[in-house]
Structure 1
Amino acid sequence: MSSPAPNTRHLPDPQICERARLSRDPRFDGLFFTAVRSTGIYCRPVCPAPAPKRANVDYYPSAAAAEAAGFRPCLRCRPELSPGDGAWRRGDEAVARALKLIDQGFLAERPLAELAARVHLGERQLRRLFVQRLGAAPAGVHGTRRLLFAKQLLTETSLPITEVALAAGFGSLRRFNAAFQEAYRMAPRDLRRHASDDAPAADPAQPLVLRLAYRPPYDFASMLDFLRTRALPGIEQVDARSYARTFGTAEAPGWLRVSAWPAGRDGRTHALKLELQGAAPAQLAALVGRVRRMFDLDADPDAIAAVLSADPRLRPLLRKRPGLRLPGGWDGFEVAVRAVAGQQVSVAAARTLCARIAQRHGHALPAPLAPGLTHLFPTPEALLDGDLEGAGLTPVRVLTVRGIARALLDGRVGFAPEQTLAQFVDSWSALPGIGPWTAQYLALRALGHPDAFPAGDLVLRKAVPDDGSRMATRELEARAEAWRPWRGYAVIHLWRDAAASPPGSAEDTE
């Protein structure tokens, strides 16, 4: 087939793409897509199908760009499973912030002009930046995203097609069928028949299972270690193989579990297994997005290492744990309460305090959703007037938690993805009891911001010199300038190396 020449400005070097395609290098999964002109199909670099001739191949920076050029996704390698391009989809760039909004379904009911306004750009400028970066306009990125998510649900689950349409953000089954047919030249029911051997049999009593791919290496064991020491009884369960928790509301609670996807025949399945129970179809995309952020599945380890390994203190840490990721939190308010409760106390003490708060003020479920999962974490409304001193918080911390709850409810602070790191830190630091350390910690764990950096952290100031001395905060900030835009990963490596991480390691400057 003939197609417009792809935009190569934000692609890896063509020779690198060619080597990655021929070797099926998983480190490049999601960094580019291979389109085959003779078949009209586009693939991931890891596609197991026989490699096409170079003369028939074009490279595209995104699935949306390949689809805009008229290519259809491969049914074998399934481009919907590719991790995002974590090298620039995160952080403060306008395109990155707009993409986060698109991933949350912003364009499903709002015009492009409103999206542009949210990231403080003109509509034409935002469209131009998207075409430069992704090879497709925002509307095309949005359309590709929801159709690929629908494709995953059709392939991996037994959800009725009507529910798949709702989960993918379509207001009607007719519109979904028409969009799917136009983009992929087959009806959703035909894809379901094609995938019937892989999809499980329908059973409402069983959880929904989805595969969430990542770009290797990925240190899942370290991620579980971090989450295990902070797990709240009744709300979370973490063992050596999986993380489980409750979510939702008192009226519609649910639970999820995240574990390693069983290895394939070649032993190289780079994915996590997400099990969901009790999630409404319209919630699925948002829940998957939360899990991807919490487990940092879109990171690009090579891009991170290329910057951080230039520092002699960080270089051996990256070699020791090349797959270390940012361990996120499930809910921003929950992370904020944990951070405040943990100021100047140990991780274990902070966990005990938060467990008491959760047991006293969280919603107790009539029956466990799964073994050990008995409560939902308290809402901001529940903690506005709750007896937090009885749970063990000091009067000052009680005022801080209540101030956070009020500020979230009245919109003075929040976790909206269009914020820059500076905007987020400034708004949160304006609250009584919240200083730069806590605000940066929230950005790291609640937003998954890759450049969040709590420079006043005592552990960091001791860990960087590696000789028993302690750096001044300004000295550490100056040293860390060379780590941008990945300072958050330096934090995690240094905390891990020091075998101690906050809450509990910050000096009380707030």
Structure 2
Amino acid sequence: MEPATAPPFSAAICQQARLTRDARFDGLFFTAVRTTGIYCRPVCPAPTPHERNIVYFSSAAAASAAGFRPCLRCRPEAAPGSPLHRARSELVRAALRLIEDGALDDAPLATLAARIGVGERHLRRLFAEELGASPLDVAATRRLLFAKQLLIETAMPVTTIAGAAGYASVRRFNAAFVAAYGRPPRDFRRTRQPARTTAAAIELTLPYRPPYDFRALLAFYARRAIPGVEIVDASTYRRSVIVDGRSAMIEVDASPHRDALRLRVHGAAAPALGALVARVRRMFDVDADPRAIAAKLRGDAWLRPLVKRWPGQRLPGAWDGFELAVRAVLGQQVSVGAARTLAARLVQRHGTAHPESAAFGLGALFPSPSTLAEADIEAIGLPRARATAIRAIAQATLDGRIGFGAEQTLTDFVARLAALPGIGAWTAHYIAMRALSQPDAFPAGDLVLRKLAGDGKPVSERAMETRAEAWRPWRAYAVMLLWRSAA
């Protein structure tokens, strides 16, 4: 087995996790059995094979690339997480994000490589070194496992699922299933669980690794929810969205039966489901490895009691990068409540109606960049400088000077944003932290953080940066814990 395919744990740890079916390791490695040619999750209920017949892999894609088939019992598609957290370089992380969004479903590898600024051969080499699987292997495994989830969890027609999972044709869809499982997709419909799909909604599960502080995440969103666009209560997040030019609505709550969130999608077209699910996964940070994050942050005496007090801290993402950037500017130098009021006024004056979601208490969509680029934003009570900054963000988004795609590095993104009027380093890092789900984004100039570091007397920004070096690559999670401690 090549080193890159191995999980980030010793064989002894993997064996112990497999024998005890330890859920903390679910999705962090996969167990392949030489005698059967099948790979499983470490929590698989099947009888445990002898260790001499076992090969451990870091990802489902690596196991698949080695010729193993996914287990029908433990369903690898239901494992939490993705290979993202195992990527060592920002280039591989960016490529994985794009693959999750379907970048290789209808474009060649050369196009993906160009988007992140490297050659195709170099990208293949990076994937082989870090993941033990090629970009095409990762994309093929993603399509296969997502399609199987749709087959089991929904009542969508098989032909519709083929397109939703990213297959170019039903023939290729069938061939992929026969190659992986030895049976066609329709066979899974005969043994599926009761479908959680109605004429009005599609319901899917998004597994996570516990602990997961979902209540805190909902509270964070609730304080910032824009009336008409979002509704957040003690158990559920709802909002109106635009997906591929079509209005839709999403609902997210906790599953009562397993370590997973439930996503209900109303109104989205089937081909958009894969990218939509990837965005929601990032928004709710379900792929995080809380064990690895806590292990790093517990090394700091300042953070140790916070990690213990709030286990399962997640990074609150955003549905739309442009929307989050605008909201970040609205929140400059004002309270969270005041920023929410300004955002509500902006939607009332410049947003568009979303009548399909009115029955859920929503009914509005956040204004687009083309609308805000020329809008009279001062009329909502915003100072001219901040209104100018919002128009600049909108125009820069329209002409391509800034974007919110996963292919950019943290450094490049912050530099591009900070070049715009009214956008400083704090705002740029805050946007990166939430709009791009950058786990190492760090607004070092934040006054709350600097006061906490100096016991009430703010330390310098340089001192704050130095203190946070030990928290890499999870500085954004440290920020969330420290902000909670100051609330």
TM-score, normalised relative to structure 1: 0.92
Is the counterpart of residue 307 in structure 1 residue 302 in structure 2?
no
Q: CA deviation at 1:249?
A: 6.4
Distance (Å, rounded) in 2 between the aligned partners of 1:369 and 1:36: 52
* Structure 2: runs of 5+ lacking an equivalent: none
Change (3 A) 1:398 1:328: same
Instruction: Check the 8 A contact 1:91/1:421 in 2, yes or no.
Output: no
Is the counterpart of residue 494 in structure 1 residue 477 in structure 2?
no
* Superposition RMSD in Å: 1.8
Q: CA deviation at 1:161?
A: 0.8
Instruction: Check the 8 A contact 2:249/2:357 in 1, yes or no.
Output: no
Is the counterpart of residue 478 in structure 1 residue 485 in structure 2?
no
Is the counterpart of residue 47 in structure 1 residue 41 in structure 2?
no
Matches within 5 A, 1:141-290: 141-195=138-192, 197-200=193-196, 203-205=198-200, 207-248=201-242, 252-263=246-257, 269-290=258-279
Distance (Å, rounded) in 2 between the aligned partners of 1:87 and 1:140: 15
Aligned residue type for 2:151:
L
1:390 is paired with a residue of what secondary structure? helix
Query: Residue 469 of structure 1: which of 439, 457, 471 is its match?
Result: 457
Q: CA deviation at 1:86?
A: 6.4
Return the structure number with greater helix share.
2
Match of 2:55 in 1: 58
Distance (Å, rounded) in 1 between the aligned partners of 2:214 and 2:275: 22
Distance (Å, rounded) in 1 between the aligned partners of 2:164 and 2:275: 9
Change (3 A) 1:188 1:9: closer
Query: Residue 122 of structure 1: which of 119, 122, 126 is its match?
Result: 119
The number of residue pairs the alignment matches comes to 487
Instruction: Check the 8 A contact 1:89/1:99 in 2, yes or no.
Output: no
2:378 is paired with a residue of what secondary structure? coil
Larger mean CA deviation between 382-391 and 481-490 belongs to: 382-391
Q: Which string of whole-angstrom CA distances, capped at 9 and with x for unpartnered residues, describes residues 471-505 of structure 1?
A: 11111011111111111111000001111xxxxxx
1:248 is paired with a residue of what secondary structure? strand
Matches within 5 A, 1:344-493: 344-366=333-355, 368-465=357-454, 467-493=455-481
Instruction: Check the 8 A contact 2:84/2:97 in 1, yes or no.
Output: no
Larger mean CA deviation between 283-292 and 467-476 belongs to: 467-476
TM-score, normalised relative to structure 2: 0.96
Distance (Å, rounded) in 2 between the aligned partners of 1:359 and 1:118: 36
Match of 2:100 in 1: 103
Distance (Å, rounded) in 1 between the aligned partners of 2:425 and 2:126: 32
Aligned residue type for 2:475:
R
Distance (Å, rounded) in 2 between the aligned partners of 1:90 and 1:415: 20
Change (3 A) 1:91 1:474: farther
Q: CA deviation at 1:373?
A: 1.1
Instruction: Check the 8 A contact 1:32/1:62 in 2, yes or no.
Output: yes
* Structure 1: runs of 5+ lacking an equivalent: 264-268, 500-510
Distance (Å, rounded) in 2 between the aligned partners of 1:433 and 1:475: 24
Distance (Å, rounded) in 2 between the aligned partners of 1:8 and 1:333: 37
Match of 1:84 in 2: 81
2:312 is paired with a residue of what secondary structure? coil
1:246 is paired with a residue of what secondary structure? strand
Change (3 A) 1:208 1:84: same
1:153 is paired with a residue of what secondary structure? helix
Distance (Å, rounded) in 2 between the aligned partners of 1:21 and 1:9: 15
Q: CA deviation at 1:103?
A: 1.1
Distance (Å, rounded) in 2 between the aligned partners of 1:126 and 1:236: 39
1:247 is paired with a residue of what secondary structure? strand
Q: Which string of whole-angstrom CA distances, capped at 9 and with x for unpartnered residues, describes residues 374-403 of structure 1?
A: 111111111122232221211111111111
Q: CA deviation at 1:8?
A: 4.7
Change (3 A) 1:102 1:443: same
Q: CA deviation at 1:184?
A: 2.0
Change (3 A) 1:368 1:284: closer
Distance (Å, rounded) in 2 between the aligned partners of 1:14 and 1:250: 45
Distance (Å, rounded) in 1 between the aligned partners of 2:407 and 2:41: 29
Aligned residue type for 1:42:
Y
